[in-house]
Amino acid sequence: MAHWPQLEKSNPNGPWTGPVGSVVPEDKLPRSAQGILDMAKESGWGFGPISLVTRMNMPGYPPFFMTWLYDIDSGKWHFDCARASNGQKLSYPDCRTVIQHPDALLPEPPGEDR
């Protein structure tokens, strides 16, 4: 039988002081997101890193995903990671290349010797 990790509650007076309002005004969050955040806060959960994940789509090519993290202390976003839909890691320069040349996401054609 699998043992699931025990989750600990965080101090509700700690990291909840303002990060949502500083990233996205609370009145602009979807009601479902605001509701779950309110429920978590009332239950004693703390706030972890805020991330922005984008799915980049181009017709005829596989999608790829880019993630930025928000640093609550500095109030700034930074690029964290990216992955192609096949799980391949992409660097920020890789993402720029893929945006300009989406063929970079496609597997190479088989060689003559195959």
Task: Say whether pLDDT at 66 is over 80.
Answer: yes
- Write the DSSP symbol of residue 24: S
Q: Which two structure tokens, joined as six digits, stand for 70?
A: 């928000």
Torsion of CA 94, 95, 96, 101, to 10 degrees: 80
With respect to residue 37, please indicate whether it lies within any of the assigned structural domains: yes
Domain that holds residue 23: 17-47
Percent above pLDDT 90 for the chain: 29
Higher pLDDT, 17 or 107: 107
Bridge partners of residue 67, in order along the sequence: 53, 81
1 within domain boundaries? no
Question: What pLDDT sits at residue 23?
Answer: 58
Q: Is residue 113 part of a domain?
A: no
Give the tens place of pLDDT for each residue, 6-54.
Answer: 444 444 444 444 445 555 666 677 889 888 888 888 888 876 777 889 9
Task: Average the pLDDT over 67-96 and give the result.
Answer: 89
pLDDT at residue number 21: 55
The answer to whether residue 81 scores a pLDDT higher than 70 is yes
Q: Mean pLDDT over residues 63-73, rounded?
A: 87
Give residue 4's identity as a one-letter amino acid code.
Answer: W
- Does residue 57 sit in the same domain as residue 36? no
DSSP reduced 3-state for 18: coil
Q: pLDDT higher for 66 or 106? A: 66
Residues 91, 70 share a domain: yes
DSSP element (H, E) containing 33 = helix 31-42
Q: Which amino acid is at 24?
A: V
